[in-house]
Structure 1
Amino acid sequence: MRTTEETEGLDGEASNTSMISGASSPYQPTTEPVHSRTVFGGLRCDLEYLKSYFGILKVVEVVLSLIGLICIETIMLCSPCGAVYFFEFVSCSAFVVTGVLLLIFTLSFHTKVPHVNWNLTDLVNTAASTFFFALSSLVLACVNHNTSAEIAAVVFGFLVTAVYGVNTFLAIRKWRLGNGGQRAPQSTDYIRARTASRGEMETRPELA
């Protein structure tokens, strides 16, 4: 039979072993906040992007473009119809393209295709949408029949133009900072390489 001292010693060794295994175990609970969730196809839903300025602006742009498209689609009679068709094309294109970019950034699909300059792509889309929404809204404001649908389309057209304008300003600033950030590491690495090579030359013993 085991004595009391032997039993206590075994219990102490077991507790120490469990503490060591628990400390070294990789499956430790964490209190870090979850910023993304994995969805189908290995893509991640970036919740932080939806909370950022770009995510919020894109959601507003998609909603306002859809409302403008719905307003212009309710117009049954028009003569001439050029302004109506132009506004319809712009609002539909902006809704589709901006919605696709919103999904790409939200699902982190841009990380799967790194060879595409997504900052520049977003900048081109927002700048083009700002210009064409402003132009189509101005044309529709000048050529309309003062119906409620046309007036509502013009109002939402100018609203989404302002939102796209803010997004364009932020996209330009982000694109400039991104280009500067890409050039800085290259120059820093080059300076470090030259410094390291000079250090090797200085520490290398002279040949007799």
Structure 2
Amino acid sequence: MRNPEEVDGFDGEASNTSMISGASSPYQPTTEPVHSRNVLGDIRCDTEYLKSNFGILKIVEVSLSLIAFICIETIMLCLPCGGVYFFEFVSCSASVVTGFLLLVFGLNLHGKVPHVNWSLTDLVNTAASTFFFFLSSIVLAALNHKSGSEIAAVIFGFLVTCVYGFNTFLAVRQWRKGDGRSSTVQTGEYTRARTASRGEMEAQPELQ
């Protein structure tokens, strides 16, 4: 039989050994908190983008589109109403899509989805908004009933068309400089870095 002191000593050694093995174990509960902190760290307000030309233009575009949409919504009677409905759809769609892109770039969320070419998406949105706002403003001006709301909607429609057109010009010029290709290269580097880090994390328990 073992003495109580020997049993206590054996238990103490076992507990110390378990503590040491637990400290050196690769399966630690600190993986998920670190991952959550990294995710939250990616969501931040990009003040540099909001102060840039593209950020300011997007804020102006969303504001003018909303104002034009509000003006067209205050029209109570119209005959025919095709121009009103068309302008309403264009102003609402442009404000929603541009507002979404403003949030994506303003909160630095585009880095979390690197497989999407956000530069090309922004270019397509600005070009399409320029064309459809110009077309809907012309149609609304041609079918105008000379009410205050329709006149205000037409004015804001042409104003936001000019802003979208200038934004399209800047986006095309930036695309021609090769920023689209550089974004693709950055996306590939990001994917390779994530793959390499994931491979290191998988190989680390085997080494230990």
- Decide: shared fold, TM above 0.5: yes
Question: Measured at CA, do residues 49 and 73 of structure 1 come closer, stay the same or move farther in structure 2, by a change above 3 Å?
Answer: same
For the residues of structure 2 that align with 1:45 and 1:171, how far apart are their CA atoms?
A: 22
* 1:18-167 mapped onto 2 (5 Å cutoff): 42-167=42-167
For the residues of structure 1 that align with 2:74 and 2:166, how far apart are their CA atoms?
A: 29
What is the match of residue 24 of structure 2? none
For the residues of structure 1 that align with 2:80 and 2:116, how far apart are their CA atoms?
A: 41
Give the deviation of 1:179 after TM superposition. Answer: 3.8
Question: Measured at CA, do residues 39 and 65 of structure 1 come closer, stay the same or move farther in structure 2, by a change above 3 Å?
Answer: farther
TM-score normalised over the length of structure 2 = 0.67
The alignment partner of 1:71 has SS state of: helix
For the residues of structure 2 that align with 1:184 and 1:100, how far apart are their CA atoms?
A: 25
TM-score normalised over the length of structure 1 = 0.67
Question: Measured at CA, do residues 114 and 181 of structure 1 come closer, stay the same or move farther in structure 2, by a change above 3 Å?
Answer: closer
What 5-or-longer segments of structure 1 have no aligned partner?
1-37, 186-208
For the residues of structure 1 that align with 2:98 and 2:180, how far apart are their CA atoms?
A: 23
What is the match of residue 169 of structure 1? 169
For the residues of structure 2 that align with 1:74 and 1:143, how far apart are their CA atoms?
A: 16
Give the deviation of 1:144 after TM superposition. Answer: 1.2
Give the deviation of 1:174 after TM superposition. Answer: 1.5
Give the share of equivalent positions with the same residue, in percent.
72
For the residues of structure 1 that align with 2:162 and 2:129, how far apart are their CA atoms?
A: 10
Q: For the Cα contact (< 8 Å) 1:39–1:45, is it kept in 2?
A: no
What 5-or-longer segments of structure 2 have no aligned partner?
1-37, 187-208
For the residues of structure 1 that align with 2:95 and 2:103, how far apart are their CA atoms?
A: 12
Q: Considering only aligned residues, what root-mean-square deviation do their CA atoms show, in Å?
A: 2.2
Question: Measured at CA, do residues 138 and 175 of structure 1 come closer, stay the same or move farther in structure 2, by a change above 3 Å?
Answer: same
Give the deviation of 1:42 after TM superposition. Answer: 4.0
Cα distance per residue 1:5-63 (max 9 Å; x no partner): xxxxxxxxxxxxxxxxxxxxxxxxxxxxxxxxx99574011000000000000000000
For the residues of structure 1 that align with 2:165 and 2:139, how far apart are their CA atoms?
A: 18
For the residues of structure 2 that align with 1:89 and 1:107, how far apart are their CA atoms?
A: 27
Highest relative contact order (Cα 8 Å, sep 6+), 1 or 2?
2
For the residues of structure 1 that align with 2:146 and 2:165, how far apart are their CA atoms?
A: 26
Give the deviation of 1:175 after TM superposition. Answer: 1.6
State the number of aligned residues. Answer: 148
Q: 2:70 corresponds to which letter in structure 1?
A: I
What is the match of residue 203 of structure 2? none
